[in-house]
Structure 1
Amino acid sequence: MGTAIAMTVALLAICGCSTSTDGPTGPMPTPPAGLGQFYEQKVNWGSCADFTASGERMPPRAQCARIKVPVDYANPDGPTAQIALSRLRATGNKVGSLLLNPGGPGMSGLSMAALATNTELAASFDRIGFDPRGVGSSIPAITCLTAQEADAERAEPVPDNSPAGIATAEDDNRQYARRCVERTGTDFLAHVGTREVVQDMDVIRAAVGDPKLNYLGYSYGTRLGSAYAEKFPQNVRAMVLDGAVDAAQDPVQESLRQAAGFQGTFNAFAADCAKQPSCPLGSDPNNAVANFRALVAPLEAKPAATTDPRGLSYSDAVTGVQQALYSPTMWPMLNRGLTELRAGRGDTLLELADNYDGRNPDGTYNNIHDAFNAIRCVDDPRITDPAVVGRQDAEYRKAAPFLDDGKGTGNAPLELCAMWPVSNTSTPHRLAIEGLPTLVVVSTTGDPATPYQAGVDLAEQLGARLITYRGDQHTAALVAGVACLDDAVIDYLIRLTLPPAGLTC
């Protein structure tokens, strides 16, 4: 899951109490034909004790519930799924509910209800987190690998791009897809994409009693937001999209832009590390890529020793490094991990990789890895031309040399989605939406996972107001502690006050 998009939200203790009876006003939209039973259902809020499938720690005072949605919106009388919700109630005069999504795809969003604690935002909105269909505590959950199989997959040697190596990698992908079918079912896998999730979001909006949606989405959550705006423009009140996924970008373009983004953040880390006398990548940032490759290359032959009996594989080392590049707050941990690796140990990088892959301390996994694959493969058109895959692999290595293992041959295996058992339900396209209020897009100049230009492009398509944040991290609004940015976002969400044109923080 080396190209997954993710973010982490700190959980804080909060009051969660509310004496306000204020709330959203205005007529509720008429439910789409045949879906009244879902739009008009009551949310039975209660304890979050049984909502722990993702391994997230729920904030105090949070309430949880599940609502029903049709698996297939074209067949509302058919099978149903249950979407897990979390809520922290507004502590003051309530504007409405604020639906939150952290990205992924495949990340649980229940702990997102704790975002922006002790702010005017928390006073004004019921903060609603949710696990998209198939994810975390929603039912059913996408399941492909057992914990033992996931551990084994991570420990596998990196295949070379010889004909035999390509054949082995493609067979592994076919086996993974077969396991997903066996354990999740083809019918459900066909309905886990963005197309369905945005319809679930509209059901959530109605179920919590809001005539219009207020939404804050990060990373892949921006794809959900823009797709919702496209399908339900008349139901949008306010929307902030941070760490943009450009709806017009095809998977190859997105992959290569992301490769360049991670290389740029690696370079920033290396420059920061070089200022320290004991930097494991050396004192000259120009040599950082070569020094990094020298550290991780031996892991292809033998894992580094760890307290955990698994050891640190080459794949896990690279995953751990990528995890730490999402935020400068993790750079000290990355420095420590690379310093350990120089001494022959891999505990810290293994911890980072476990966090990225959703492995819990007891050896179990949440389903972020399987959900990421299933959603991505149904969202994007698959690439089945070996020549295109070979060119993409070569260009990726050039864009991100710190990730280049030197095994490029001009050929590469078809990736998992080429073997996926159901067709994609979305395609890249430019957005042209009529009747949409002005939205806000936040884009970070040094974002490794969703590069800055994607935010610029998405804002242009939506006619949105763009806020630029100068930094080296993935997403920033209400998580980076930047008052210039946070104040503008909160003011917009509460009062619909647009940030100044060209605002840069």
Structure 2
Amino acid sequence: MRSTTLVAALCSAGLLLVACSQSTTGATGRGGPDPTQLSRFYEQKLSWGPCADFATSESDRPTFSDPKFDCARLEVPLDYAAPDGPTAQLAILRQRATGQRIGSLLVNPGGPGSSGASAAASLSGRIGQGQLSQRFDLVGFDPRGVGASTPTIDCLDDAEWEAERADLDVDPSPAGVEQTESENRQYAQRCAQRSGGDPVLANVGTRDVVRDVDILRAALGDQKLSYLGYSYGTRIGSAYAEAFPQNVRALVLDGALDPTQTTADRTVKQNAGFQQAFDAYAADCAKRPDCPLGTDPAKATAAFQALTRPLIDAPVRAENGTRTLSYPDAVTGTIQALYLSQLWPALSRGLSLLASGDGTILLRLADLYNGRGADGHYGNDIEAFVVISCVDEERITDRAQQADLIRRANEAAPFRDDGRGVVAALDPCAFWPVPPTSQPHVPQVQGLPPTLIISTTGDPATPYQAGVDLAKALNGSLLTYEGTQHTVALQGVPCVDDAVTKYLIDGTLPPPGTVCRAS
């Protein structure tokens, strides 16, 4: 789950409204087709081959060339209300099970907008030759519009991305608001023009992704779905559980979203989560005499503001003078480091370097967040985040409500407050050409088998309570991890990894109230 400087109010996303169906071949929903009309999609045979051409980033190319992976494309209706119309092609990556196969384990890393194919390839390296790789085909997919799937969401070219990152949008005057809204209106128009028009934008939300997942389940030959979803991927998982509870074998949902929260409330809570992570970082940093924020954690927010706010008027050089660090990038780079405590040393080095007039490390952290490769090319992760959020989320079209949300978010996370006042400009979603396809609600999941929800006490992006609430909504089992990071499953914490492995293989859930800690 991302928090982007492009759209201040899109710090997180809510669960969609998905029509329930008792059919094992697809939900009908919103006046959609009878399941028999989808038979050609459910009965398709995947044509597997090398993965090299499926890589969409410089970093994925060597990994995808490994012969242990094979890839295919899954065909799905672009619009489920018109299954005989245009189609979308989803990129699928697989690593076959090496032992007695249970089935496929489908993985989604979140975002929205992140590549599931890339996530599965990365996860393969973490689980090695363990029990999960022996018993499951590890499968990742790029959701519609994302990564190597087509049609692909596209809003900005590389040059426009660089300009966007340098754009401050800190002028709260009527003229400043008008300028920001003009830019956001143009952004919405570009997304529509470059992504395939309104029909694509109208059908990239989670409502449609869960239908794709069920077709993928069938195409993989699995009677029931085994699924591991991180962050926004928990929304896909819980929405699938509501649409197709009879088709679920096992669900692991890590870094949960509360499906009943409004967009505004979740945004404020996420900002509070990042402030909590910032405070934890500051307390750890203060133990060291060379901490760039000083040795008093209570003064760390003010020290951070003193370091970063001058960038609004005077960006600093980076990368030996070939680039510059803007104020938005300094904040974004910091947020990237707050996702994982292992990045705190890099953040300290970056802030120390900034104090000496060099923004290189913070810029590289911001590059990581924004999906910019070393070759200067941007992936479409953030663009997909915005587009999908605009059809998944409630929209704010009243400037007074927008101003109140931004004020509350700044109060919740003062480290990222620019100090220039609230810019009450409507975000791109207010100008979106198609309506949203979801709303907050309590999932109806009758017949769902036991599920495993993991929540981390110091998770900045998806705060702990959201996991508690999702577990209650799904009548699932909650596993608590005490730590400061965003998601934890299969990331080297034995207590968590053992619980996940046992549950996925034989359905054994950890005892109620289980709490895991770093070893």
Tell me the residue number matched to 1:147.
158
Tell me the residue number matched to 1:407.
420
Which shifted more, 261-270 or 88-97? 88-97
Equivalent residue in structure 1 for 2:434, among 401, 418, 422: 422
Equivalent residue in structure 1 for 2:181, among 163, 166, 170: 170
Tell me the residue number matched to 2:290.
278
Which shifted more, 153-162 or 295-304? 153-162
Deviation at 1:119, TM superposition (A): 1.7
Tell me the residue number matched to 2:500.
489
Equivalent residue in structure 2 for 1:457, among 469, 483, 504: 469
Tell me the residue number matched to 2:75.
68
1:257 aligned to 2:269?
yes
Deviation at 1:159, TM superposition (A): 2.2
Tell me the residue number matched to 1:44.
47
CA distance in 2, matches of 1:303, 1:140: 37
> Under a length normalisation based on structure 1, what TM-score does the superposition of the two structures give?
0.93
Q: For residues 277-310 of structure 1, what are the alpha-carbon distances to aligned partners after superposition, in whole Å with 9 as ceiling and x for unaligned?
A: 1100001101100000000011101111112623
Describe how 1:286-305 pairs up with structure 2 within 5 A.
286-305=298-317
Tell me the residue number matched to 1:236.
248
Which shifted more, 49-58 or 352-361? 49-58
Tell me the residue number matched to 2:453.
441
CA distance in 2, matches of 1:30, 1:110: 24
CA distance in 2, matches of 1:29, 1:232: 7
CA distance in 1, matches of 2:185, 2:56: 27
CA distance in 1, matches of 2:182, 2:81: 34
AA at the equivalent of 1:240: V
1:354 aligned to 2:367?
yes
Deviation at 1:5, TM superposition (A): 6.9
Tell me the residue number matched to 2:397.
384
Structure 2: runs of 5 or more not aligned: 14-22, 27-34
1:118 aligned to 2:118?
no
AA at the equivalent of 1:378: V
- SS of 2:515's equivalent in the other structure is coil
Structure 1: runs of 5 or more not aligned: 7-27
Higher relative contact order (Cα pairs below 8 Å, separated by 6+ residues): 2
1:103 aligned to 2:116?
no
CA distance in 1, matches of 2:12, 2:170: 24
Describe how 1:127-142 pairs up with structure 2 within 5 A.
127-142=138-153
Deviation at 1:385, TM superposition (A): 1.6
Deviation at 1:498, TM superposition (A): 1.2
CA distance in 1, matches of 2:451, 2:468: 13
Which shifted more, 445-454 or 423-432? 423-432
Contact 1:158 1:314 in 2 (8 A): no
Describe how 1:364-375 pairs up with structure 2 within 5 A.
364-375=377-388
> Under a length normalisation based on structure 2, what TM-score does the superposition of the two structures give?
0.91
Deviation at 1:158, TM superposition (A): 3.4
Contact 2:245 2:446 in 1 (8 A): yes
AA at the equivalent of 1:131: D
Equivalent residue in structure 2 for 1:398, among 391, 397, 411: 411
Contact 1:219 1:242 in 2 (8 A): yes
Deviation at 1:54, TM superposition (A): 4.0
1:315 aligned to 2:322?
no
- SS of 1:331's equivalent in the other structure is helix
Indicate the RMSD between aligned Cα atoms, in angstroms.
Answer: 1.4
Deviation at 1:111, TM superposition (A): 2.3
Q: For residues 313-335 of structure 1, what are the alpha-carbon distances to aligned partners after superposition, in whole Å with 9 as ceiling and x for unaligned?
A: 00111100000100011111111
CA distance in 1, matches of 2:120, 2:406: 39
Which shifted more, 46-55 or 314-323? 46-55
Q: For residues 34-84 of structure 1, what are the alpha-carbon distances to aligned partners after superposition, in whole Å with 9 as ceiling and x for unaligned?
A: 011111111111111111124442352111111100000111100000000
Q: For residues 74-113 of structure 1, what are the alpha-carbon distances to aligned partners after superposition, in whole Å with 9 as ceiling and x for unaligned?
A: 1110000000000011111111100000000000111222
AA at the equivalent of 1:154: R
AA at the equivalent of 1:385: D
CA distance in 2, matches of 1:311, 1:203: 46
Contact 1:158 1:300 in 2 (8 A): no
Tell me the residue number matched to 1:330.
343
CA distance in 1, matches of 2:357, 2:12: 29
Equivalent residue in structure 2 for 1:248, among 238, 260, 263: 260
Q: How many equivalent residue pairs?
A: 482
Deviation at 1:160, TM superposition (A): 1.8
CA distance in 1, matches of 2:259, 2:342: 29
Contact 1:109 1:129 in 2 (8 A): yes
Contact 2:12 2:263 in 1 (8 A): no
Contact 1:304 1:311 in 2 (8 A): yes
CA distance in 2, matches of 1:73, 1:323: 36
AA at the equivalent of 1:92: G
Q: For residues 197-242 of structure 1, what are the alpha-carbon distances to aligned partners after superposition, in whole Å with 9 as ceiling and x for unaligned?
A: 0000001100000000000000000000000000000000000000
CA distance in 2, matches of 1:169, 1:211: 49
CA distance in 2, matches of 1:482, 1:361: 31
CA distance in 2, matches of 1:113, 1:396: 34
- SS of 1:443's equivalent in the other structure is strand
Contact 1:112 1:128 in 2 (8 A): no
Tell me the residue number matched to 1:23.
none
CA distance in 1, matches of 2:489, 2:86: 38
Which shifted more, 300-309 or 326-335? 300-309
AA at the equivalent of 1:113: A
Contact 1:5 1:219 in 2 (8 A): no
AA at the equivalent of 2:40: Q
